[in-house]
Amino acid sequence: MKIKISALTDVGIERDNNEDAYIFCPDLAKQDWSCTESSSYIPLGEYGAVLVVADGMGGTNAGEVASSIATNVVSEFFSSDHVASVLESHALSIADFMVSCISNANEAINTHACENPDTLGMGTTIVVCWLLQDQAHIAWCGDSRCYIFNPHTGLKQLTKDHSLVQELVDKGEITEQEALSHPDSNVITRALGDIDTQPVADVVSAPIVSGDTLLLCSDGLCGYCTNSTIQAVLEQSPRDVTLCRDNLLQCALGAGGYDNICIALASVIGDDEVPLSDPSPCRRFVAWLKKSIFR
């Protein structure tokens, strides 16, 4: 398989600072965490690729510090030596490895807060997606999400929010549509940086095939745009992850842009497939014009 990754984070319209963060490595064997987007699809190496989105919380109590610590710990945990040992080991499963990774991020955040009292109370949600061979392994804590989209099967949400409104939806007390505008929609039930409890990540795995697009996002996108809206955007140009990324951002800004927004996309194609060309100058101009209007 081959992949192409595109990501961004935006402060939004209402906020003064950006507490969201992302990081990705398209080839864990090479350990390039520069988050530089490739101009073309690259082979999915033997150690796979990783994408991470973190949504910091705490405002003046340094939510951006928490999300930065979390993403940095993940990059350290997914070193080539660690990954090699996991893939060669029969004792440690991928799920256990990813849970341990997020647990370590939580410990690092709590340690930093104890050593820097001015950041006490900071926290972050996190979602990590490890693309390995023909599988996507996802671990998360909080309400940052991971979706998988394919033009033939549509959009599927792979994660389930750790939030109060999700619990209400599960109980049948509110609908998913009502959850978007619920007054407690910002109340999460699990996050990193909680000194009172030890948050445990959930992990799921899903097969990936040619034509799939993985989407990771903070609730600055999924908290304001419905899944059907997100699917409609991805349907327009499923192989052009940069254009999809920009259009998803405009949807979030158009819905109010009340929160920071973080979006990371990975497109998957077969080894023998010829990827579509980059968008024409006209399409790039239209995307720029839409962004300028919303600004």
What's residue 131's pLDDT?
98
222 vs 187: CA distance, rounded Å: 15
Q: Which single residue is written with the structure tokens 């061979």?
A: 133
H or E segment and range at residue 148: strand 145-150
Q: Which single residue is written with the structure tokens 């939510």?
A: 63
Class of domain 2-294: alpha beta
pLDDT in tens, the chain (295 residues): 999 999 999 999 989 999 999 999 999 999 999 999 888 999 999 999 999 999 999 866 789 999 999 999 999 999 999 999 999 876 679 999 999 999 999 999 999 999 999 998 899 999 999 999 999 999 999 999 999 999 999 999 999 999 898 899 889 998 888 887 788 877 899 999 988 888 999 999 999 999 999 999 999 999 999 999 999 999 999 889 999 999 999 999 999 899 999 999 999 999 887 665 444 444 544 444 454 444 4
What's residue 266's pLDDT?
98
51 vs 71: CA distance, rounded Å: 10
Q: Pairing relation of β-strands 213-217 and 145-150?
A: antiparallel
Rounded to the nearest 10°, the torsion over CA 67, 72, 76, 78 is 60
Cα first-last separation, the chain: 38
What's residue 32's pLDDT?
94
Backbone φ and ψ of 160, nearest 5°: -125, 125
- Is this model's pTM higher than 0.85 or not? yes
CA angle 38, 39, 44 (to 5 degrees): 50
SS3 for 240-255, per residue?
A: CHHHHHHHHHHHHHHC
What's residue 289's pLDDT?
46
What's residue 44's pLDDT?
96
| Three-class DSSP category at 88 | helix
Residues 6 or more apart in contact with residue 113 via CB below 8 angstroms: 119, 120, 121, 122, 193, 195
CA angle 54, 213, 189 (to 5 degrees): 30
What's residue 281's pLDDT?
44
